[in-house]
Chains A and B, each alone.
Chain A
């Protein structure tokens, strides 16, 4: 994580998790799509404070914008309704459809941006360490951490295998069909070599006393501060407040 002195970045993982938790629950409690859309600026504001706004916006634009536009258009056209706003041939957009897609996309935007931001500001190491603290097995947290560390390694290795297969005459470039065909000779060795490596990896872990039963220590300490506690309590109170409000309005 960049600069550790940052207030947001220094929060405890479970405190940071309050953001996606709050967003996910609250947008179902408050039925207005405007409220759900407001979650995006909220996330951007938090990203700005945490100093990750650039990467975060990049993720939103690249990953979310196209998806949301697509869903919006399809939903507007397909959804049944009476009030026709605009029509062209057999295609017609109805008011109900627009309302439905506004609600749907607002929720997708809210939940996705909250989770994207959470994983931007929280390292997997912190998450797994926090989970280990509340009783998750070290074996399980090893599996999570090793997987995330392994992803860049896998992509590096697949490039090596790709080159090796190219040298053997497998065509890996060109049309979509050729590239799809090249997938099998690349994927096979990649999976097999990874499996072959697990035995040596297990032995390495054994040499580092991984299976020792006693208590382990950790160089990186996570501290839960008073600020963490107050933020968590505040968010939970706010959620309860919203829930109660929702029930009252219902009745």
Chain B
């Protein structure tokens, strides 16, 4: 089922110092799949996330051309408050992703539900559930300001997931985190995918993208240059032309293919790499 459809999206920020514009962006997002967007800095990934979440045109000004349909309804016609419970949004800076009015993590996670006017008993139940699921019980009574970056980012995830959105837009969630924090976040993403959520993820850690996503978009200079199934896209040497990077396994495969054209299946993750190399060794 198609959830989101973009037709010829063009966008330019009113104050254009970052150069992140969008040019002729077309794509389709199917329910329950995980889409990763890769590309170098300034390629327009975050801008695209802002369009999908409706911050463009509802929050940032500037002329938005083309159509972005969410469940068949144009983004301009969506109400911002309805979008809040429809599309969850998590971005890279863990330090600004707290409401700033709550004393404990428990209250912080409950904040979105309070704003939606959910019954108190229901809020408590849902918050407790999310805390259990994400394993952040030890943080529940702490002050959100006093957490580490990784803990804050997990709380930010909890605060959004608790509102139970169908779609999640996650913009570089791990860019400020250590390896442990990154692993925790990807555990959450994996769990969300298993729950059938539709996820749009911007990320630079290509090994993790290869492991978790279904589809990949490669962006450069405001355009989607390549898109397709993760296995297809991440094994294309062409991705490197856009400075988007490839997983280590694919780079190895491409190098081996250059030396020996018989090695023609480019692996993108560890298990595939082991398989292909063993096959090649036995030849």
Within 8 A of A (CB), among B133-162: 145, 156, 159-160
Asked if A58 is at the interface of the complex by the 8 Å CB criterion, the answer is no
**How many angstroms between the C-alpha atoms of A52 and B111 in the bound complex?**
30
- Nearest-CB residue, chain A, relative to B92: A200
Asked if A214 is at the interface of the complex by the 8 Å CB criterion, the answer is yes
Pairwise interchain contact A210-B101, C-beta atoms closer than 8 A:
no
**How many angstroms between the C-alpha atoms of A206 and B60 in the bound complex?**
13
Given A200-B93, A206-B59, A211-B80, A146-B115 contact (CB < 8 Å):
no
Asked if B96 is at the interface of the complex by the 8 Å CB criterion, the answer is yes
Pairwise interchain contact B120-A217, C-beta atoms closer than 8 A:
yes
Question: Which of B103, B120, B145 sits near A153, CB closer than 8 Å?
Answer: B145
Interface 1/0s, chain A 188-221, versus B by CB < 8 A? 0000000001001111111111111111111111
Within 8 A of A (CB), among B143-200: 145, 156, 159-160, 163
Asked if B55 is at the interface of the complex by the 8 Å CB criterion, the answer is yes
Instruction: List chain B residues, Cβ under 8 A from A146.
Output: 100-101
Asked if A87 is at the interface of the complex by the 8 Å CB criterion, the answer is no
**How many angstroms between the C-alpha atoms of A6 and B93 in the bound complex?**
40
Instruction: List chain A residues, Cβ under 8 A from B120.
Output: 217-219, 221
Most buried by B among A202, A212, A214: A212
Question: Which of A202, A210, A217, A219 sits near B59, CB closer than 8 Å?
Answer: A202
**How many angstroms between the C-alpha atoms of A142 and B96 in the bound complex?**
16
- Nearest-CB residue, chain B, relative to A142: B101
Question: Which of B85, B96, B101 sits near A145, CB closer than 8 Å?
Answer: B101
Asked if A5 is at the interface of the complex by the 8 Å CB criterion, the answer is no
Instruction: List chain A residues, Cβ under 8 A from B101.
Output: 142, 145-146, 149
Pairwise interchain contact B114-A216, C-beta atoms closer than 8 A:
yes
Interface 1/0s, chain B 69-95, versus A by CB < 8 A? 000000000001100110011110101
Interface 1/0s, chain A 16-33, versus B by CB < 8 A? 000000000000000000
Instruction: List chain A residues, Cβ under 8 A from B114.
Output: 216-219
B99 CB → nearest A CB, Å:
6
**How many angstroms between the C-alpha atoms of A245 and B118 in the bound complex?**
52
A81 CB → nearest B CB, Å:
53
Question: Which of B99, B116, B124 sits near A205, CB closer than 8 Å?
Answer: B99
**How many angstroms between the C-alpha atoms of A207 and B111 in the bound complex?**
10
**How many angstroms between the C-alpha atoms of A145 and B115 in the bound complex?**
15
Instruction: List chain B residues, Cβ under 8 A from A149.
Output: 100-101, 103, 145
Asked if A152 is at the interface of the complex by the 8 Å CB criterion, the answer is yes
Asked if A150 is at the interface of the complex by the 8 Å CB criterion, the answer is yes
Question: Which of B55, B117, B159 sits near A214, CB closer than 8 Å?
Answer: B117
**How many angstroms between the C-alpha atoms of A209 and B81 in the bound complex?**
6
If A209-B81, A214-B116, A219-B123 are given as contacts, then 13 extra A-B residue pairs at C-beta distance below 8 Å, sorted by A number, are: A200-B91, A203-B55, A203-B89, A204-B99, A207-B160, A208-B99, A208-B112, A208-B115, A208-B159, A208-B163, A210-B115, A217-B119, A219-B114
Q: What are 11 residue pairs bridging A and B, where the CB atoms are less than 8 Å apart in the complex?
A: A197-B95, A203-B89, A206-B59, A207-B160, A208-B99, A216-B116, A217-B113, A217-B119, A219-B114, A219-B123, A221-B120
Closest 10 CB pairs of A and B: A209-B84, A200-B96, A212-B81, A208-B112, A145-B101, A209-B115, A146-B100, A207-B89, A215-B117, A214-B117
